[in-house]
Structure formats: structure tokens, C-alpha cells
Amino acid sequence: MVKRNDVLPLSQTLNEVDILASGESHINQPDHNQKLKRITILYNIGLKFGGPISMVYGWLIAGFFTLLVGCSMAEICSSFPKVSGLYNWSAKLAGPNWAPFASWLTGCTGGNNGGGYKASKYVIMSIHGGLLFIYALINSLPITLLSFLGQLAALWNVVGIIVLMVVIPLVATEKASAEFVFTNFNTNNGDGIHSRPYIFVFGILMSQYTFTGYDASAHMTEETKNADTSGPKGIISAIAVSIIVGWGYILGITFAVTDIPQVLSSDNDAGGYAIAEVFCQVFKSRYGNGAGGIICLGVAGGAIFFCGMSSLTSNSRMAYAFSKDGAMPFSSYWRKVNKHDVPINAVWFSAAMCFCMGLPSLGSLVAFQAMVSIATLGLYIAYAVPIFLRVTFARKSFVLGAFNLGHYGVLVGAVAVIWVATITVLFCLPVAYPITRETFNYSPVVVGGVLILTVSSWFLSARHWFKGPVISIDH
């Protein structure tokens, strides 16, 4: 198991902590429902790389450009209201000749998308397996019951984040000044990085990683009324609400931080986990014990549990969609549904694959980190593919839907693609010096490897039998 003060490449660190709960949910459970989980987990990264300035202003910068990406996706969603998901959009926008390859590429990259107790790697693996078993049982329930749990998850997350952003500053007996929150720049990261712009960029990536999953609405448009407007609204509202509520949560927690080195120290009561340390110290300073902080962590823990549940929902749907098009081995088995229209085989297959993905961590944590580093970058590449096709191949043929950006559609789309390209490069940069086997960022190696395998498999095999999504290209 990694020690709390060990250094990991950024995108690999982000994916390791998010391996069970990275996903999407139903159209009425937008991405802002997952902000409590993601910000809580990733707060250490932002505090370490730049501190308050990187988090407070980086959140707004990442939010702005993510909103542009979302607007472009919303425009495409409105144009193809009955064609759900990035995978299918790419096929529509690429045209008949390139549709199979575009959908194959998008689907394979992810668009078919101290103190306390330190558990051993075997205990962690057992917990991982136990949670996956529970998630699989929940996702085997009829859609009506799963929908209810989804609504409960949405309520938990929205209420939880509002309560924490209000309670923590109110309980704190000692608060940081506005000058500290809005002007303090932490350069003491302990990783050999001293360039302020470089540090600020990595602080922004903490925020950028949090803005994922807003394509959830796009995956559900086939089951939604007025999809040409409700789908785009779901995408944009998820990002907009995330910007506002997430920023408020960051401010509320940061006002309770008065000593960054102490909060990040692996010798504190929380073993270096900043959010846990802040929660416990806030209640301990006022009431003499950290019980209230543990309750607050329980709120965040509930958010993580629900996100894991919705992640398996999303993964099983992607497996089901890909198998319907014959793009998976034994597709006829995975695309079967039970009497409740639940793709039961795909659910348990997804759970089993998630468990297997965790097994390499028992032997080599570096190999495990390299494997899961594809998650963030793959998802953003999948976001960019249909937008790129919309502003290039389909620039003249694209038919605007009820929601559209008018004459600014191409410009916004171009900026969105450039932003995704930029953060893709940034996610691949070294995050610690000197560079060693343990600190090397394997993201470019893994992403490059996946792209090479994807393209190679297409030319060597898939182009002869894979015909793309089972939809009408003429819409």
C-alpha cells in the first residue's frame, strides 16, 4: 500500500482514489451530485500545488472552459436527440464512410462511457470486492428501485455538500483571512517543483479532473421526453451548478485552513488527508473531540458509496451498448436483459472486470497506476472526438437542433477541442523531480498504447466486421 506521503504522478493519483466511483448516472442525476466526493478526495492535490489560489481561481478557470466543452456537447445532443452517447454521436458526425472507425475509436477510449488505521493491501482489496458485490446486487434490482436509489443519491449529495460548506466555517473557532483564501500561493509541495506557473497549472488539474461525468444526460436521451432540450439542459446545468456549488464548498473548507503544512503533514491525526484533518480539528477546537468531523466524513463517505453505485450502472450500460453492436467478445451473452429489462449479465461482468482491474495492485502498484491512468484522459479524449468531428467533417452538414450556439458553434467547439488537447498534455507532464520509476508519469505511455492498440485492432480486424452503432446514419 502506498504511504500517505509517497509521490504519485497526478493523473494516476487521481484515478487511484477514484477507481470505484468515477462515473455517470441518470439524466436527472447530473454531475454536480458527485462534486462532494471528488473535491473531498482531491483537496490534497489542490492544497499541495498552489494552495488557495490554485483551488479558488483554478476552479473558475477549469469551470469556464469545461462549460464551453459542455455547450458544444449540448449542441450535438440537441441535434441528435434520439441518438444517445458520445459513441453514437461520433458515428453520426463522421458520415457513412468513417462512422464505424469514429465510433470504434470513441468507444475504446472511454466514451461508451500517520494517525489512524492504515489497512493492508489485502484488506483494501477485500473491501473493494465487497463493495463491488453490493453494487452489482443493487444494479440487479428493477429499474424503478434503482431509480429511487439514484434519487436518494442525488438528495444525499446536494444536501451533504450544502451542509458541509455551511457547517465547517460556522463551527471553526479559528478562521483563515480573506487575504489568505484569495491570495495565498503555496509553493512548498516537497516534490522538487518550484516554478509558480507549473505549480498553478497542476493546481488547476485538480479542478479539471473533478469536472467529469457531465455527459450522463447524453447517455439517457433515448429514454427521455423532449430529449432535444432536456438532454442539453442536463449537460449544461450539471456543469453550471457544479461551478457554483463546488466553488462554495472549496471556499467554505479553505476558510477553515490556517496551517497548510500541518494539514498536509503525514504525522497529523488524519495521516495527511487534508479534508479529514480539517473536519476533525474544527470540531476538536470547539467541542474538545473530533466526533463531529467523523460524522462529516461519513457524509462524504456516503457520497463515495453512491458514486460507486452509479459508476457500475454506467459501466454496465456501456458494456451492454457495445455488445449490442457486436463489438465485445461473447456479445450475444452480455446484451441479454432479464424480465425487468436490466442487462443483468453486463452488470455482473462489469463488476467482475472492476475487481480484476484491482488485482495488479497486489503485486505492483506502479503497474496498477499505469493501467488506471487511462480513465481521465480517455474520457476527455472521448469528449473531444465528436466535437472535433462537428467542427471539421460535419461543419457544413451539421443540422442545428432546438438548442444551438448559432454562428458561435464552430468557434466554441474549436476552443473546446483545444482545451481538451491542452489538459491532455498537462496530465502527461511530470509531477515530481527528480523523475524516478515511482514518480514517472506513465499516462502518456498508457494512453499512447491504448490508442495504438485501438487503431491497430481496427485496421487488422475490426474494420472487416464492425459496422458501427445499430442506428440509422441518416437519423
The CATH number of 10-464, from 1.20.210.10, 1.20.1740.10, 3.30.365.10, 2.60.40.420, is 1.20.1740.10
Residues whose CB falls within 8 Å of the CB of residue 338, separated by 6 or more in sequence, listed in order: 344
- Residue 24's beta-bridge partner residues? none
Name the amino acid, one letter, at 152. L
Looking at per-residue pLDDT, the higher value among 169 and 365 belongs to 169
The answer to whether the beta carbons of residues 74 and 86 sit under 8 Å apart is no
Check residue 172 and give left, alpha or beta (phi > 0: left; psi -120 to 50: alpha): beta
Q: What angle (nearest 5°) sits at the alpha carbon of residue 19, between those of residues 452 and 201?
A: 75
Q: Using omega within 30 degrees of 0 as the cis cutoff, is the peptide bond preceding 261 cis? A: no
Alpha-helical segments (H) within 211-337: 227-254, 260-264, 274-287, 291-324, 331-334
pLDDT band at 36 (very low <50, low <70, confident <90, very high): low
- Hunting for cell 446545468 — which residue is that? 237
Name the amino acid, one letter, at 331. S
- pTM for the model: 0.76
- Please count the CA atoms within 13 angstroms of the CA of 89 that sit on its side-chain side: 32
Q: What is the pLDDT of residues 114-161, one digit of tens each?
A: 444 456 778 888 988 999 999 999 999 888 888 788 888 888 888 888
Cell numbers linked to 79: 441535434
pLDDT band at 87 (very low <50, low <70, confident <90, very high): low
Q: In the chain, what are the domain boundaries?
A: 10-464
Q: What is the pLDDT of residues 395-441, one digit of tens each?
A: 888 888 888 999 899 999 999 999 999 988 888 888 778 888 777 77
Cell numbers linked to 284: 476538536
- Hunting for cell 488539474 — which residue is that? 205
Q: What is the pLDDT of residues 368-393, one digit of tens each?
A: 666 666 666 777 888 888 899 999 98
Looking at per-residue pLDDT, the higher value among 470 and 103 belongs to 103
